Amino acid sequence: MLLGKNHAQGSLVCVGTGLNLAGQISVLSQSYIENADLVFSLMSDGFALSWLKSLNPDVRTLQPYYAQGDEIKNRRDTYEQMVQAILAEVRLGKKVVCALYGHPGVFACVSHYAIDAAKAEGYSAKMEPGISAEACLWADLGIDPGQSGHQSFEASQFMFYHHTPDPTTHLLLWQIAIAGEHTLTQFHSCSDRLQILVELLQQWYPLTHEVIIYEAPTLPIETARIERLALNELPFSRLTQVSTLLIPPAKKLELNHAVLAKLGITESDLG
């Protein structure tokens, strides 16, 4: 079956703008924004939105689809409405860009849903990477995750399922501010839920183990939030929607002597 004119022309590109205003976007992603027929956006603040509007005359924020005021709204409904708004313009034959702060595919399900839906209808759709909060975290904390490895989980998923962290590696828990929240209607947790998380983590980490609350800066004049505290202090800490919890290793790496023997490697060979 031949595709109609609009079907052939409509396209979607999801791009990431990075975390720090105008400074972390790739040349290619900026070019997509500048040459798009229209740009849908979810930015971290009004400054970022204003900068985006300086690149393209038709920028439409997706923020109003979230619950407003005292409204209680499931985020699944919000995301579906966002996707349909994006697809409606693609179906009109337009070159559509969806610009999301950070990386467009990391903790950003709208981009994945929209790309899948566009492809299913025969449109060109793809994603361009962006600098994520994780990339900023390693830089701001001066940590090379390759030295001991790292594990990464969404905080609520870590609580709801049987995950087993390796205390010899770095552990990242994302969206810590909504840890234990399952209704998809709230954007905050409570000390009771965080206490349950602490009790869960106590299986692998001492209560006095130092953890780090991290928040990447979004403006050039800002600095990263790096707050160090004991694990048992977490339920009483100040958390925001962009807080990430880093739990450094609590144990040293252990040599696998059986594998080393097969490889003909001695402990002294490793330095």
Active-site entry in 32, 65, 66, 79: 79
Q: Maximum distance among all alpha carbons in the chain?
A: 68
75 flagged as catalytic: yes
Please spell the DSSP secondary structure of 111-147, one letter per residue. HHHHHHHHHHTT-EEEE-----HHHHHHHHHT--TTT
Active-site entry in 32, 101, 123, 205: 101
- State whether residue 151 is helix, strand or coil: strand
- Separation between Cα atoms, residue 136 and residue 142, nearest integer Å: 10
In the block, residue with structure tokens 């594990």: 151
Q: Which of 35, 38, 17 lies closest to 106 in space, CA to CA?
A: 17
- Cα angle, residue 21 at apex, residues 18 and 26 outer, rounded to 5°: 45
Q: Which of 80, 81, 126 lies closest to 105 in space, CA to CA?
A: 126
Cβ contacts of 254 within 8 Å, gap of 6 or more = 168
123 flagged as catalytic: no
Active-site entry in 60, 66, 75, 113: 75
161 flagged as catalytic: no
Q: Which residues are catalytic?
A: 75, 79, 101
